[in-house]
Structures are given as C-alpha cells and as structure tokens.
Amino acid sequence: MKYVIRFQKTGVICYTSHLDIMKVFKRSFKRAGIKLAYSQGFNPHPKMGFAQPLSLGYESLDEYIEFETAGDAFSADEILGRMRALMPEGLDLLSIKEATHNKTLAADTVAAEYTIEIPLGETEKNAAVTMEPRSLWQSYMGQDEIMTLKKQKKKKEPVLVNIRPKIREMVFFTSEECLRIDAVLDSGSDSNLSPELVITTVLERFGLDIPRSEIKVTRNKIHFKEHLT
C-alpha cells in the first residue's frame, strides 16, 4: 500500500537536515512495527521519500512524505496514530492519505510558497516605513531581470542567473520591526528557485544590511501539478 503523510516541521528541529529527518521517519516506522516495502538489488532501501527537500534552518507547515508498506497490517489511521506517538517534538503529523498515483510526489512538485521574515535594524526601520509595500513590489518585481550569482552543483565557479522568471508571485508586508515577503517560487525538478537567492537580491535591491542568521524562512505550501494529495 502507498500512503502520503502530511506534516509540519517547526521549532529547533528545523536545524536537523533533510536526510536526518528521513532517518527519523525510517526508524519510527521500524519502532512502530510498520513494515515498509524495500527496493530490490544489492542495496535494498525502504521505499519512502519526501516531496521536496527542505533546507537546513527552514521551518515548514506543509511537508509530505510518501511511503509504501509491505502488506496492509495497519489501516491508514492506525499508521498515523502509531507514528504520531513516536515523533520527536517539532515534527507534527497532520494527516494521512492512501495514494494511488504512480508518479512520485517529488516529480509532481512544481512550486512552493514561502514566508521570508527580515527583521529590521534601526536604520532600516526608518527606510522601510517610508516605503509602501506596493512600491517595494514595483521596485523589486518591476525589474526585467533579477540577476544573481548561483552556485553550480558540479562547477566550482558560481554563474550569473536571472531568477525573475522563476518567481511566480510575491507580496511584501512591512511593519515597524520586520519586512515580510510571501513568495511563490518554482520548485521541483523542472525549474527550481531557492529562497536564498530571493533573500540575497531583496537585501541588495533595498540596501538592507541584515545578517542572514537573523532572517527566518518558512515554507507554507507545496504546489503539485496533478493535485495528487
């Protein structure tokens, strides 16, 4: 049987990597007595995977893990109940659904929604409050091209890329303390944009000197092409 569990990753556990969370699930299945189906071959591994990897340090309100069980010893609700009892703090399992699709969720992912919260220092506060969200949007999204350096997977030298076409939507909110950006970005194997590049270019555009470590990113939603979930 194939299932998809939707879950959240919030709090300090966001400092645990994608692969390590995978290990938590793998071990939890084992502890819960839920037998997973294994791949064939010399290195059999359990059939499970996330819709999209989540960068270290990001929280998420909308994560998906799909997996295949060997047999149907437990109902979907029983699986959810057993797994819930074993999850570490910060990993909250929201719901479970039986899956009928053949395609993986990863292959079906097309976009993701993020919230980027940039706290403002004294100097930025003054500058930001004078700027209306609308004009911030125009200043940033109105650019024909948004060029930035992107690290390549294989090559050592970063290359200059235009990220503008990969930004689907963007909304700015300002308050005394914080500049908040809600953005829908391409995500998945066809076209992908990391929020990190949005952060760099936003900071550059508005001349904000805020250390990356002060900025919080949350993934709110993953968009799928075929609405499998």
Partner 1 sequence: MIDRELDSILKCVEKPARYIGGEVNIVRKDPDSVDVRMGFAFPDTYEIGMSYMGMQILYNILNKNERIYCERLFAPADDMETIMREKGRKLFTLETFTPADELDIIGFTLQYEMAFTNVLNMLDLSGLLVRREARAKASEGGVHMPVIIAGGPCAFNPEPLADFVDVFLIGDGEELLEKVCEAYADAKKAAGANVSDVRGIFLRAIAGLDGVYIPEFYEVEYYDAGEAGEQGTIKCVNRTAGFVPEKVTRAVVKDIDKTAFPTNNIVPFIDTVHDRSVVETFRGCTRGCRFCQAGMIYRPVRERRPETIKNLAMEQLANTGHEELSLLSLSTSDYSEFEDLATELMGLCKAQNVALSLPSLRLDSFSFKVLDEIQGYRKSGLTFAPEAGTQRLRDVINKNITEDDIYSAVRQAVELGWEHIKLYFMIGLPGETLEDLDGIAEIARKIMDINYEIRGRKGGRFRVTVSVSNFVPKAHTPFQWEAQDRPEDFVDKHNYLSSRLHIKGVTFNYHETVTSNLEAVFARGDRRTGRILEEAWKGGCRFDAWTEHFRPELWEKAFETCAAEFGFADGKALEAFYNYRKRSEDEVLPWDIVNSFIDRQYLLDEKHRAEEAKTTPDCRLGCNLCGVNEYTECFVNAKAGCRG
Footprint of partner 1 (CB under 8 A): 11-13, 15-17, 20-21, 23-24, 26-31, 56-57, 86, 88-90, 211-214, 216
Cβ-based nearer residue to partner 1, 31 or 225: 31
Contact yes or no for 136/124 (Cβ under 8 A): no
Q: Toward partner 1, which CB reaches closer, 88 or 158?
A: 88
Q: Which run of H or E residues covers position 22?
A: helix 18-31
Tell the smallest beta-carbon distance from residue 26 to partner 1 (Å): 7
Least distance between partner 1 and beta carbon 207 (Å): 21
Structure tokens at 85: 């009892």
Three-state DSSP string of 127-189: HHHHCCHHHHHHHHHCCCCCEEEECCCCCCCCEEEECHHHEEEEEEEECCCEEEEEEEEECCC
Using the minimum distance from each CB to partner 1, give the nearer residue, 2 or 216.
216
- Whichever of 91 and 136 has its CB closer to partner 1, that residue is 91
Cα angle for residues 25, 109, 26 (degrees, 5° grid): 10
CB 46 within 8 A of CB 36: yes
Among residues 138, 148, 225, 139, the alpha carbon closest in space to that of 189 is found at: 225
Instruction: Output the smallest distance, CB 151 to partner 1, in A.
Output: 17
29 or 140: whose CB is closer to partner 1? 29
- Please report how close the Cβ of residue 6 comes to partner 1 at its closest, in angstroms: 21
Least separation in angstroms between CB 190 and partner 1:
29
